[in-house]
Amino acid sequence: MADSGLWRGDQVDICCFARLKEEHEAMLERLNECLRPLAEIRDKQRHPPINPDEAVQSFLQWTQREFLPHLQAEQDLCRPVLTIHAAGEPLYRQMLADHRKLRELAQQAREEMLLLQNEDSIREDWWNTLDLACVWSFQRAMAEHVDCENREIFPKAIALQVKE
If one asks whether residue 91 binds Fe ion (CB under 5 A), the answer comes out as no
Q: Which among 66-74, 85-93, 114-122, 133-141 is the span making contact with Fe ion, rule CB under 5 A?
A: 66-74
Binding range to Fe ion, per CB under 5 A, among 83-91, 127-135, 142-150, 154-162: 142-150
The region of 47-55, 71-79, 80-88, 124-132 touching Fe ion under the rule CB under 5 A is 71-79
Nearer to Fe ion, 48 or 80 (CB): 80
20 close to 74: Cβ distance less than 8 angstroms = yes
Residue 112 binds Fe ion (CB under 5 A):
no
| Cα–Cα distance for residue pair 39/13, rounded to 1 Å | 38
HEC string of 13-80 equals: CCHHHHHHHHHHHHHHHHHHHHHHHHHHHHCCCCCCCCCCHHHHHHHHHHHHHHHHHHHHHHHHHHHH
| H-helix or E-strand spanning residue 7 | strand 7-8
Least separation in angstroms between residue 98's CB and Fe ion is 6
**Does residue 74 touch Fe ion according to CB under 5 A?**
yes
Question: Which CB atom, from 74 or from 112, has the smaller least distance to Fe ion?
Answer: 74
Residues that bind Fe ion (CB under 5 A): 74, 149
